[in-house]
Homo-oligomer: A and B are copies of this chain.
Amino acid sequence: MHPLDEATRLERLDRERLAARTSTLYTNINGPFGGFTAAVLTRAVMEDERRQGTPVALTVNYCAAITEGPFEIAAREVRTGKSTQHWSLELAQGDRIGATASVVCGQRREVWSHHPATSPAIPPYESVSRFDIQGRGGWVSQYEFRFAKGGIDFTPRDPADLRAPVSLLWMRDHPERPLDYVSLASMSDAFIIRAFVVRGVMTLVGTVTLTTYFHADEAALKEQGAAPLIGHADAAIFTGGFADQTAHLWGTNGKLLASSTQIVWYKE
């Protein structure tokens, strides 16, 4: 079983409630990797027999630190219409709510389509060297990264000479795994914190809220399979202790598979 499938395994308690536990693999400094939380909440909807359609949008609000161990997910079907289905979810450890989320599923149909955006130019996968995780544990070691721009490089910079907040890379699950909505949810958070890229230093940070839009239908996921994705991340503003981050995940064929935004709290 792939580590992501093992990590996000759910046990159904009743119609609305599921049990799961944090993973020792998809971890961050202060608890589970945000992408793991996004993935397990997406999986809760994917595995629900009430689900109609496939995920179109996901918002996860990271309310409190999640501690190592078991947690429960409550998944409420708020409204099912002809085109969309709305879910509200909560992840809790006892009385403490660690995350809230909303998932929108949609009935995708063969209608007019148009793809004005184009994937960023990046050297071929084989020509970009693989990022050496150098014994780093945690979520970073669950991915293969090949940075063409804005890689992991902790060299403090002069405040007058900051680096651009942009990363461009090839990325995929490690070990390889056919792409699905669960891995896409996780991967939409698998970018380095923009402030680290800009400043070259680690500071205390935490994702506050993450919104991911899934543009890939099931055929597009199948077409992509386990091939590497093109990832692009950027940020517009860091102010008052809150920064934005935007991310795009492109398929090998140049199609946009997912886009994502998040707000990151930073201490200093």
User: A153-176: contact bitstring with B at CB < 8 Å (1 yes, 0 no)?
Assistant: 000000000101100000000000
Taken together as a complex, chains A and B put the C-alpha atoms of A165 and B110 apart, in Å, by 21
Residues in B neighbouring A83, C-beta threshold 8 A: 241, 265
* A116 close to B (CB within 8 Å): yes
Q: How many copies does the complex hold?
A: 2
A100 touches B78 (CB 8 A): yes
Q: Tell me, yes or no, whether A104 is within 8 Å of chain B by CB.
A: yes
Pick from B100, B109, B235, B240: contact of A111, CB under 8 Å: B240
Contact of A100 among B88, B164, B198 (CB under 8 A): B88
Question: For the complex, is A211 an interface residue (Cβ under 8 Å from B)?
Answer: yes
Residues of chain B within 8 A (CB-CB) of A114 are 162, 198, 237-239
Residues on the B chain within 8 Å of A239, using CB: 108, 113-115, 215, 217
Interface residues of A in 90-110 (CB under 8 A from B): 96-97, 100, 102, 104, 106-110
A-B contact pairs, 28 of them (CB 8 A): A56-B208, A56-B263, A57-B209, A61-B78, A63-B78, A63-B86, A64-B79, A78-B97, A83-B265, A84-B208, A86-B100, A88-B88, A88-B100, A104-B208, A106-B241, A106-B242, A111-B267, A112-B238, A114-B239, A115-B239, A116-B198, A211-B211, A211-B261, A213-B244, A217-B239, A237-B256, A259-B261, A261-B261
- The reply to whether B102 and A263 contact each other, CB–CB distance below 8 Å, is no
